[in-house]
Structure 1
Amino acid sequence: MPLDYIASYWNQFIDSLKEKSSPDLELCGSFHFGGKEDASSIAKLVTAGIKTATGSLLWVYESENNPIPSIGEFNIITDSNEMPVCVIQTKEISIVPFKEVGTKFAFDSGEGDRTLESWREIYWEYIQSECERINKEPTMETPLVCEYFKVVYAEPFQF
């Protein structure tokens, strides 16, 4: 995907703001949820307001020398074709061992049947895959970065 699509969508979002005198907002980055094959279906959950939370491995941020998400940051969510779908803003961050993630977070993650059992099954596969990639051993204590976000812009991309 050409990076100019991301930049164009960000500009489209900025242009949509009613209060032009607001402080300069900065785009943190762009990404898709799940694997590339699932990105479009998960993006639909986000824009529908069903998925308002996501989890990622703290160890991945550490191994890649990347900061964890920050409250207030903006990111563009893309679909399976890497096209921009919406802009989200991070609202809350906590670091929780896998085994301590609760039913509310599982429900707010919006995937599967939204139960804790379904969430644990989906995320355990993700944890195993990511741990294998970074040479870590997954356990029930694996630290997850639990993030709540809200969609702040979801207009179609204007070419």
Structure 2
Amino acid sequence: MTLKDVLTRYPGAQTFKFGDSASMSAELLGLVRAGRKTATCGALRDYPDGSTETPMVGRRDIALEWDGRPALVIETLEVTVSRFCDMTEAFALAEGENETLEGWREDHRRYFERNGGFDPEMELLCERFRLIEDLASEE
């Protein structure tokens, strides 16, 4: 299924990629498919006011494979803002990438250092979502 086909089925959907590398993207898509990843976050600085990329409750968006092929359709359930240092264990574990809040902090500190800078006080845009459709099953 092409991206154009998926955008026709989900008008208003935005596209995005999980992670910052092909291997990380594949791992995170796998966690969503397995039901382990039901949340994600990014630096609030990467979402300027009015940005169409900002998640919106109720909107269905398309997660892409690293090469740009459509992978998944998710629906945003909740959007909140939290400082890195105030991240809750419940949200960190809902991201599905770590077994502990400490592991989440270490991995995400390194991620933000690679992607624009890290500050323990930095604000994060936090999104909870549910999987609507796995597009890989239609290939």
Q: Secondary structure at the match of 2:102?
A: helix
What amino acid maps onto 2:113 in structure 1? Q
Which residue does the alignment assign to 2:121?
Answer: 141
CA-to-aligned-CA distance 1:86-106 (integer Å, 9 cap, x gap): 100100011000000011111
In 1, are the aligned partners of 2:73 and 2:135 still within 8 Å (CA)?
no
**Which consecutive segments of 4 or more residues in structure 1 shift more than 6 A?**
none
> Which one is further off, 69-78 or 95-104?
69-78
Structure 1 or 2, whichever has the larger Rg, is 1
Q: Which amino acid aligns with 1:9?
A: V
Aligned partner of 2:51 among 66, 80, 86: 66
CA–CA separation in structure 1 for the residues paired with 2:100 and 2:5: 37
Match for residue 152 of structure 1?
A: 132
Q: How does 1:7-26 map to 2 (within 5 A)?
A: 7-11=4-8, 14=9, 26=11
Shift of the 74–26 alpha-carbon distance from structure 1 to 2, 3 Å rule, reads: same
Q: 1-side partners of 2:73 and 2:95: how far apart?
A: 17
Q: Secondary structure at the match of 1:81?
A: coil
The Cα of 1:65 is off from its aligned counterpart by 6.0
1:88 corresponds to 2:74? yes
User: TM (normalized to structure 2)?
Assistant: 0.86
Determine what percentage of the aligned residue pairs are the same residue: 28
Task: Tell me which amino acid in the other structure corresponds to 2:41.
Answer: G
Q: Which residue of 1 aligns with 2:111?
A: 126
Q: What secondary structure, in the 3-state scheme, does the structure 2 residue paired with 1:85 have?
A: strand
* AA of the residue aligned to 1:78: L
Structure 1 unpaired stretches of 5+: 15-24, 133-137
CA drift of 1:73 comes to: 1.2
Aligned length: 137
| Structure 2 alignment gaps of length 5 or more | none
Q: What is the CA RMSD across the aligned residues, in angstroms?
A: 2.2
1:152 is matched by which residue type in structure 2? I
Correspondence for 1:19: none
Measure how far apart 1:121 and its partner are.
1.1
Could you tell me which amino acid in structure 1 is paired with residue 104 of structure 2?
W
